[in-house]
Amino acid sequence: MDSNNRAELRSSAKNSEWNPCCIPRTSLQRTFFKKPREDHHGEADPSRKKLILNAFVEMCSGHQSPSLATWYYDTSTEFNSISHWVHLAKLLEAAKFHGIFIADVLGGYNVYRGPRNPAPALKSGAQWPANEPLAVTKHRGPPHRGRLGWDIVAGYLDSAARNLVDSEQPEHDGRYAMAEYIKVMYKLFESSWRDDAVLLDRQRAIYPHPALVREINHEGKYYTVPYPHICQPSPQRTPLLLQAGTSKAGKTFAAQNAESIFVGGHSPSVVAEEAKAKSDDYAQDGDLDGALALFGVWTGIDLAVYHDDEELRHVRPNAIRSTVEAWSKASLGIPKWSKKTVAKNITIGGLGATVVGTAAQVADEFERWVKEADVDGFNILLIPELRRRGLFWDEHLVQGGTYRENFYGRPGESGPLGGHVASGYRWRKGVSVEEAGIPA
């Protein structure tokens, strides 16, 4: 597309109250399974699964689309403004989304053209600069009314490990061996305060009753935490637990702790002319080096050592070949998978499958994923067509409820469900401190 056509497209979009959030294009990278399977209440058609939808963002510019800040309509550069997030939250609340999934990183992307070279990521704004998601929740303050979830995946950035603990990143499975941390959090969330500890008795001048708050005295291999949680329990106590690790160790950890599991995959997409033009316009603003900087840290592979047009399906190590083979099977018609092809493939939307088309075409693809893979939802922005098909609710199932209540569609179930490991840590109302043991 030449510059005149691009200007015309942008002008047309600007004059038609076009909203970037409503563009019919999405990444299926963050589809997810809910576990354990629960019945949804109040469905008009019980045979038709209702999807769970989250917006997928990061406190940075462009998130998984490097250099999107240069695009004419981009507003992600406003991520330092609380009004930016309040506006997004209001949009999503009006659309009845389940939540906002705010990804985060604690170090820079410095593998590509490395070692320890941050320039490609910095130049393109590839998740750098970025802020910590807690900045948003801290601005909003503690009264979040139990609408928080927590992605309990292990960290993957070597740069973050060197920043925080002054050592290289532990090997992959070793990071999950250190997940003793989740037990510490269960003890703080569920065991250190009894359900009825907060009295707020103004006549007797008692806020939390001292006898109903106790030390957890955790002593483990990696953590020693003696004292109780400094925060009083939220309506959920333990946030809704999600998990995005898909390795063997990550899946084992998820089976033990997660209530929802994020999965990724690649699939062919249908293309409509107008949506394709918008997608191409995005891609022209994308930064290939920034994309490869993201790829370098996501996979640990520095593609800078390969020629721009070298076929990657025939190189070592096996990790490159397996990654590229997955793409080639899903994206037919691409004769050569080179470094340049990989970069273009992830410039918009990251490693996940990308669907470009009309609202109906994208909804078709969602339904195909539901039927073939039995996923429960997506992190996307596409609503009216899904509602027309009966795939998404018109209103929250539990008005004013917690994230967990609406996730499961079960009023009153604000804390971890009975079968979840965290429920065994709960110090319940009326149970004495002697009777309420803390699991090891």
Rounded Cα–Cα distance for residues 153 and 243 (Å): 5
Rounded Cα–Cα distance for residues 11 and 6 (Å): 9
Report which of 332, 389, 379 is spatially closest to residue 28, judged by C-alpha positions. 379
The letter for the amino acid at 102 is I
Secondary structure (DSSP) of 384-430? HHHHHTT-S-SS-SSTT--HHHHHHT-TT--S--TTSGGGGG---TT
The CA-based angle 360-362-368, given to 5 degrees, is 100
> Per-residue confidence of the chain (440 residues) as pLDDT tens digits?
444 443 333 333 333 232 222 222 233 334 444 544 444 444 445 567 777 888 888 888 877 777 777 777 778 888 888 888 888 888 888 888 888 888 888 888 888 888 888 888 888 888 778 887 765 554 444 445 778 888 888 777 888 888 877 678 777 777 887 888 999 999 999 999 999 999 999 999 999 999 999 999 999 999 999 999 999 999 999 999 988 766 788 888 888 999 988 765 444 333 356 556 666 766 676 778 888 887 887 777 788 888 888 877 666 655 666 666 666 666 656 777 788 888 877 776 666 666 766 667 777 877 787 777 777 766 555 676 677 778 788 888 898 899 999 989 899 999 999 999 999 999 999 999 999 999 98
Asked if 24 contacts 357 with a C-beta cutoff of 8 angstroms, the reply is yes
The letter for the amino acid at 320 is I
The letter for the amino acid at 41 is H
What pTM, to 2 d.p., does this model score? 0.64
The letter for the amino acid at 6 is R
The letter for the amino acid at 68 is L
